[in-house]
Structure 1
Amino acid sequence: MPMRKQNLLPPLGLLTAATVWGIVWYPYRLLEEAGISGSLASLITYLIALVPVLLLCGRDFLRQREQRGWLVLVALATGWTNLAYVLAVIHGEVMRVLLLFYLAPLWTVFFARLILGERVNQFGYLVMGLSLAGAYVMLARNGGLPLPTNFAEWMGLSAGVAFALANVLSRKMREVATGVRSLWVFLGVVGIAAFPVGFEGGALTAVAGLDSAHWLILIGVGLLLVLATFAVQYGLAHTPASQAIVILLSELVIAAIASRLLAHEVMDAREWLGGALIVAASLFSGRIHQETKT
């Protein structure tokens, strides 16, 4: 019995992270309605999250001397991933943004080849084909180029690109402690989010005008981000890639239900078809770099 409970922890961690990411867009929208921009909300929530992460991992962070350059790149990539994702789900349709984000396996193929020198097997070409087909079905309108048509879609797409880069870089630094990498992630988001906030007028006034309910939202989101970050790191470290991607895709189901109930957003048939192709690509992505059996 203890062994079975232990084996349930990694998938439970992945499911927890998927649930957080599938619903976190909603409190960010509430904060936007209260006058807190996506950039400012990201900055505050990740500053709140940074406190417990520093307490847990600060000592290991100070001792880390190797691969600082790569860790900075991870911080920048993950910082943009999180900021772009928040801006996208605030200003766009949640499911379209998420599906564009889930084109990440396509970009992973290129980054893994460039940074790690990895060659893909037949599943890699299948992932590329399905991803491109899904993107074309979703984005091509009236014979035009299959490109995003608004700010939110471009942010969602760029978040997926940055996420793919961060994942490949993390694989390059497997020997770096999870806590240290997590701390760099939070520092990256704070640093990236602080840049646009610096150009926003009235940020301090907006923060001063928040009531206790909005501060509870900010603190709650910050703590959920800490939970999701460590849960997914633990889950990925103890779950086969092909199984992990299936569990993480539950984020799409959770987000679809939440966006329907909370924002009354509905996907059309074209979006469902493109999304199905992108999901299929993600399902095969866990086998891109596995050895092909002969």
Structure 2
Amino acid sequence: MREEAARRGNGRRTHLAVGALLTGALVWGVLWYPYRVLAGLGISGIAASALTYAVALALALVFWRRALAALRPSWLLAAIGLAGAACNMGYVLATLHGEVMRVLLLFYLAPLWTILLARWWLGEQLGVWGLAVVGLSLGGAATMLWHPAMGLPWPRNGAEWLGLASGFFFACSNVLSRRAQALSIEVKSVAMFVGALVISGALLLTGWGSMQWPHSGASVLWLLGIGVILMLVNRVVQFGLHHTAANRAIVILLSELVFAAISAWFLAGESMGAREWLGGAMIAAASLLSTRLEARVEAAA
């Protein structure tokens, strides 16, 4: 009886974890749109990021105060916070000013950066699967970006460079988190919220943008809503990652590309050509291959 109850409990937890990851993929696949709405209401991406992360931080300090009692500042925690903040802010600004799917496909080069950084910072071996991920990732990016009239296969504008950079910082955050297993989910999330305020504040102070305060009830509601979503989605996704094997989690999170493709077509009228789809398929395959590498690393540990 006890074994049966435990089995049912594990099965229920697994279903909840999968649902949590799908929820996170759905939210991040459409979160670009509320920021475009705020831009239309006169609040720029940098100002909107500062305000929404301020809301998320305030809520976290209230609802997670017990978990945050153990918070101790450290260089590692600061690095995790800044890397995660740079990733999320880069995503927001890139999808605000660029084509959503092209930006996200460049973001999903993250497994390439993860493998290279893990080799450098953690001493993990590259191996055959690692080389395959590197080759497929670079091949997919080149296929998607190359055009006879445009020369070398580089990102073609600032938004695409931001998408590429946000994927790199996502990889940095993941690799650094491996070195900080003792830190709780709440502590890491709050570090990221603080990091977002630091980065957005620095950009505003150096003249990269101007601080626009909400001047309508609609903008206030959008800012509060996004802030609540940012706090909740971080917690939800971390629950899913904690209770799902890494190689299964990345497959589920790749559904973000599907949600983004549908939302970009429906809400912004964006579409991709055959070359972009082929390059995107190669990048997605590289992400799937990276799960095989992750499984090998876990088995060797």
TM-score (norm 1): 0.93
Determine the C-alpha separation between the residues in 1 that align with 2:10 and 2:248: 19
Gapped regions of structure 2 (runs ≥ 5): 1-7
Superposition deviation, residue 60 in structure 1: 4.0
Name the structure 2 match of 1:119: 125
Question: Alignment partner for residue 159 of structure 1, among 144, 166, 169?
Answer: 166
Cα RMSD of the aligned pairs, angstroms, is 1.9
Q: Say whether the 8 Å CA contact 2:64–2:186 is kept in structure 1.
A: yes
**What SS does the corresponding residue of 2:295 show, helix, strand or coil?**
coil
User: Percent identity, aligned pairs only?
Assistant: 48
Determine the C-alpha separation between the residues in 2 that align with 1:278 and 1:215: 38
**What SS does the corresponding residue of 1:146 show, helix, strand or coil?**
coil
Compared with structure 1, are the counterparts of its residues 51 and 284 closer, same or farther at alpha carbon in structure 2 (3 Å cutoff)?
same
After superposition, where does 1:30-45 map in structure 2 within 5 Å? 30-45=37-52
Q: Does structure 1 residue 256 correspond to structure 2 residue 261? A: yes
Name the structure 2 match of 1:234: 239
**What SS does the corresponding residue of 1:288 show, helix, strand or coil?**
helix
Superposition deviation, residue 59 in structure 1: 4.4
Superposition deviation, residue 201 in structure 1: 6.5
Gapped regions of structure 1 (runs ≥ 5): none
Residue correspondences, number: 290
Compared with structure 1, are the counterparts of its residues 201 and 144 closer, same or farther at alpha carbon in structure 2 (3 Å cutoff)?
closer
Name the structure 2 match of 1:102: 108
Determine the C-alpha separation between the residues in 1 that align with 2:71 and 2:147: 50
Superposition deviation, residue 265 in structure 1: 0.2
Superposition deviation, residue 182 in structure 1: 1.1
TM-score (norm 2): 0.91
Deviates more, 1:26-35 or 1:257-266: 26-35
Name the structure 2 match of 1:79: 85
Superposition deviation, residue 286 in structure 1: 1.5
Deviations for 1:239-267, whole angstroms, at most 9, x for unmatched residues?
11110011101110001000000000010
Deviations for 1:23-43, whole angstroms, at most 9, x for unmatched residues?
000010111111111111011
Question: Alignment partner for residue 21 of structure 1, among 7, 25, 28?
Answer: 28
Superposition deviation, residue 200 in structure 1: 5.6
Name the structure 2 match of 1:149: 156
* Amino acid of the structure 1 residue aligned with 2:167: G
Superposition deviation, residue 62 in structure 1: 4.6
Deviations for 1:112-132, whole angstroms, at most 9, x for unmatched residues?
011111113322111111101
Determine the C-alpha separation between the residues in 1 that align with 2:101 and 2:124: 31
Q: Does structure 1 residue 133 correspond to structure 2 residue 139? A: yes
Compared with structure 1, are the counterparts of its residues 290 and 32 closer, same or farther at alpha carbon in structure 2 (3 Å cutoff)?
same
Question: Alignment partner for residue 89 of structure 1, among 73, 95, 101?
Answer: 95
Name the structure 2 match of 1:289: 294
Superposition deviation, residue 144 in structure 1: 2.4
* Amino acid of the structure 1 residue aligned with 2:120: L
